[in-house]
Each structure stands twice: as structure tokens, then as C-alpha cells.
Amino acid sequence: MAAEFDLVVIGSGPGGYVAAIRASQLGQKVAIVERENLGGICLNWGCIPTKALLKSGEKFESLSHLKDYGLSASGATFDFDAIIQRSRGVAKQLNQGVGFLMKKNKIEVIEGEAKLEKGAAAPKVVVALKAGGSRTIEAKSVMLAVGARARALPQIGLEADGDKIWAYRDALAPKKLPKTFVVIGSGAIGIEFASFYRALGAEVTVVEAVDRIMPVEDEEVSKAAQKGFEKRGIKFKLGAKVTKVSKDSKGVKVELEVNGKVESLEAEVCISAVGITANTDGIGLEALGVELERGHIKTDSHCQTNVKGLYAIGDCAGAPWLAHKASHEGIHAAEHIAGYKTPNVNSPIAGCTYAQPQVASVGVTEQGAKAEKREVKIGRFPFKVNGKAIAAGETEGFVKVIFDAKTGALIGAHMIGADVTEMIQGYVTAITMEATEEDIHGIVYPHPTMSEAMHEAALDAYGRVIHI
């Protein structure tokens, strides 16, 4: 059987659907297989619906600060169902948008669950169709973009049941608003849910195994974030190992070991945010001999697996588990498949957390640089002396930048505060363009903006800060 498609993409998350569009732009005949919703986790159960919820929480919380701005309003309340419905509506809208993009780019959408079998140029794709029956597709290349799911820890009873123990899907579409939560895990997902439910008035305790929250961030940011969250009423248990999660009629009991001492927390609901598991099972990878590495599909710099014609991108192919990383890999792999010898772009992957305050970072942390024994120059600038931040009443947080002392290359940037997730791209651009301190010092930042703090931090690293 001759190949029916140039490329079949399995999974339509931000990795898969973007790859499909790019391949189609390059003249490839493309099909995409999806077993659930177009748009994957990101659009349906991840990035987007969480941001919708967080916005509701943020708007509601801002009402309690109206006085600071000379305003008053009384009787502010919220409709929890409406908040959830808004978030689901946003997801639906974007999910349909992806459907439209597939049509526009003449990408055939095949609804069903795909499995791989040995093939010629690339593995064969056998789809158990949603509509019933199965379809075998041969293509010149196959791209796995099957994503990941919430990790469960059954050994300690941490398994989502949609009732008392929630994973992100449950937390995104609950039927009612619980009053008390224990959130296990202080990564971006755990912190965002903690922030959202706290903004609506719930009691939230976040449990983290290491001794600081958001462990991938710079230590200074971790500390400031903890302070900011605590100010809003979130509680933390750090250095706490969860030993058992049990349910009773009232809720959940989470047993912990903190510094060798046994403690326990009780709440109506426990949100599990202890990481993800790649969807590498049940698709026939073992039979094909696809190499895995720590649970993820192993790929080279062009996203190729060890099996001829088989590519893997996004969450299923390893960290960082972020939508923009998935999309970037998708584009690169699509170009590689279409015959471009593109060296993989060297743009760093920034991480953003949309809690209040927001956290955004890119590149190395100060601790990371020290561990690598790199000589660095570090600059900081707090928003409390930034004109725009003061005018807006958003003075929480700071910007911290790290330069390589020898070359002047910007190698890390860490921000906490309002809207920093929108600003971090400035540093991403600088790093990608290989800017040095001289370039950043020479950039004219518009006034008044919070971004001026980015300029000042870079100046500070070289003893040239103006406004302190």
C-alpha cells in the first residue's frame, strides 16, 4: 500500500496541531488523529481554562482593594457555576478554533485512538475510530504528540476520584466549591489552583516536599512568592513528605512527615499536582522498540525517535512540560520532515505561573549558575520604586537578571509581580538574539511601564542603576 499521507500526527495538543499546520504550509499532505478534543490538554484542560478561572479570581479579589483607588462597591459576590462555565466556554471556543484551522489548512482530522504497528517508511497507524471500526493509515512520517496526564501515586492513596481527590480536570470543572483544600505540590499547576480557590475564599494549604515553594524557580523568587501567597492567606507545609492520603465521609486526611515528625492535614478536597506521566503506554511503542528515557520518548535534536520515520514532540518527549515548548518542537519537526535542515533554534523556554503574584522566568537561576561555577553579574530592581507600578498600585515583586560575567551574555531572568508573564518575552527575545548587557543597556524602554524595571535590573548588574 502506498503511503496515503506525508505525515500523520497523533494527538492534537499545542504540539500536534501546530506541527500539522506547519507541515501543511510546507506542502505536506497531513492527517491528525485525536481521541478526545482538538487542542489537547492545553486548550481544553490546561493552560487556557486555568487562565480563565484565575482571571475571575483576580477580578473578584481586586474588588476588596477598591478603596485603595478611591472606589467603593458593595455586595460583591460571585457565581461559582458561572465562573466554571465561562472557563469551559473559553476552552470550547478555542477547541472549535483548532477545528477551523485544521479545515483551513486541509488537514484531515481522524477521530479515534491511534496505535502503532511495524510499517515501511514509518510505523503504520491503526486508529480505533470513534465512530466505530478501525482504519489503518500509512504515511511517510509519523509524529507522536500524545502528551501526558496527571501523575497518580496509588501507593499512598493519591489517586484522583473526581470527588474528594482531584486532579487538574476535576479542579477545572467542579460541581460545587469546597471550603477547604490541601494542594499537594507547589509547582505551577498546584500554585495556580491554590491561588484561584484562595481568591474565592477557600482555606488552602499547599504541601511541598522540598524546603521551598516553586522549586524550579530562583530561591529569591520562591521566597518572595511564598510571602505574597501567605499575605493572601495561603498556608504552606514545606519539607513535607506525604505518606498517606485517606478519605472519609467528611473529606480527606493527608498524613505528612515533616522533619521526621508525623503531622496530618484535613480538608474537604485534596488537589493532586505532583507532576505528570507521559502517555507512552498502550500505543505499541514496546513492540516497535521505541526507546524511552525516564518514562518519556527519547528523541534527538530534530525530535526523531530511534525508529525510522517516527518523531515525538511535546509533553510525551520530555521536560519542560509546557505548551510553547511542544509547539516549538512541532514546528521544528515538521520542517525537518519537509526536508529543511534547520538547526534547532536556540530560544530558551520560559516558564510562567499565573497566580497572584505572577512568576515568570527564563534561563539559569543564581543557584544553577553557582552549581555550574559560572561567574555571574546579578542585578535586581523592585517594582516598589517603579513609577508605573506605584501608579497602578501593583508594587509587589521585583526583577532579577543574571549575566555571564565573562561574556556579558544574559543567561537568566526571574520576575515576580503583576503582569510579569507578559514581560518575560522581552528577555526571551534578548537571549535568543544573543544580546549582551550592552545591548540591553542601550534599549530605550517606554515610560512609564513596569518593563522599565527590566532595564533597571540589567543596569544594576553593572552598577549603573538609575532609580535606586
Ligand X SMILES: Cc1cc2nc3c(=O)[nH]c(=O)nc-3n(C[C@H](O)[C@H](O)[C@H](O)COP(=O)(O)OP(=O)(O)OC[C@H]3O[C@@H](n4cnc5c(N)ncnc54)[C@H](O)[C@@H]3O)c2cc1C
251 Cβ contact partners less than 8 Å away, ≥ 6 residues apart: 164, 178, 180, 266, 267, 268, 269
What is the nearest approach in angstroms of ligand X to the Cβ of residue 91? Answer: 11
Q: Which stretch binds another protein (CB under 8 A): 74-82, 219-227, 390-398, 435-443?
A: 435-443
Q: Is 111 in the site for another protein (CB under 8 A)?
A: no
Residue 447 annotated to the active site: yes
Measured CA to CA, the distance from residue 218 to residue 368 in angstroms comes to 8
Nearest approach, Cβ of residue 26 and another protein (Å): 6
Chosen from another protein, ligand X, none, partner binding at 100 (C-beta under 5 to 8 Å by type)? none
Q: Which of 293, 397, 306, 318 is nearest to 353 (CA)?
A: 397
326 binds ligand X (CB under 6 A): yes
The reply to whether 1 sits near another protein by the rule CB under 8 A is: no
436 binds, among ligand X, another protein, none (CB under 5 to 8 A by kind): another protein
In 64-113, where does DSSP find H-type helix?
80-104
Interface size with ligand X, residues (CB under 6 A)? 34
Binding flag, residue 342, another protein (CB under 8 A): yes
- Which residues 120-179 are close enough to bind ligand X by CB under 6 A? 145-148, 168
Q: Please report the DSSP string for 159-219 in residue order.
A: ---SSSEE-HHHHHS-SS--SEEEEE--SHHHHHHHHHHHHTT-EEEEE-SSSSSSTTS-H
Binding pattern to another protein, positions 129-168, x when CB under 8 A?
-----------xx---------------------------
Query: Would you count residue 361 as binding ligand X (CB under 6 A)?
Result: no
Task: Determine the Cα–Cα distance for residues 325 and 313; give it in Å rounded to an integer.
Answer: 9
- What single-letter amino acid sits at 192? E
Counting contacts by CB under 6 A, is residue 318 touching ligand X? no
| Count, residues near another protein per rule CB under 8 A | 29
Nearer residue to ligand X within complex by CB, 35 or 244:
35
How far apart CA 203 and CA 179 sit, in angstroms, is 6
- State the Cα–Cα distance between residues 63 and 255, nearest whole angstrom: 36
Least distance (Å) from ligand X to the CB of residue 49?
A: 8
Residue of the chain from 5, 8, 13, 222 that contacts ligand X (CB under 6 A): 13
DSSP secondary structure string, 342-360? PPPP-----EEE-SSSEEE
Longest dimension (CA), the chain: 73
Give the whole-angstrom CA distance, residue 39 versus residue 49.
Answer: 12
Instruction: Compare residues 213 and 307 and give the one whose CB is closer to another protein.
Output: 307
Position 412 contacts ligand X (CB under 6 A): no
The reply to whether 176 sits near another protein by the rule CB under 8 A is: no
Give one DSSP letter per residue of 409-422, joined into a string: BEEEEEEEETTHHH
Q: Distance between CA 262 and CA 327 in Å, rounded?
A: 44
Q: Residue 348 interacts with another protein (CB under 8 A)?
A: no
List contacts with ligand X (CB under 6 A). 10-16, 33-36, 40-42, 46-47, 50, 113-114, 145-148, 168, 189, 279, 283, 314-315, 321-324, 326
List contacts with another protein (CB under 8 A). 6, 25-27, 121-122, 140-141, 308-309, 335, 337-343, 346, 406-409, 433-436, 438-439
- Catalytic site residues? 447
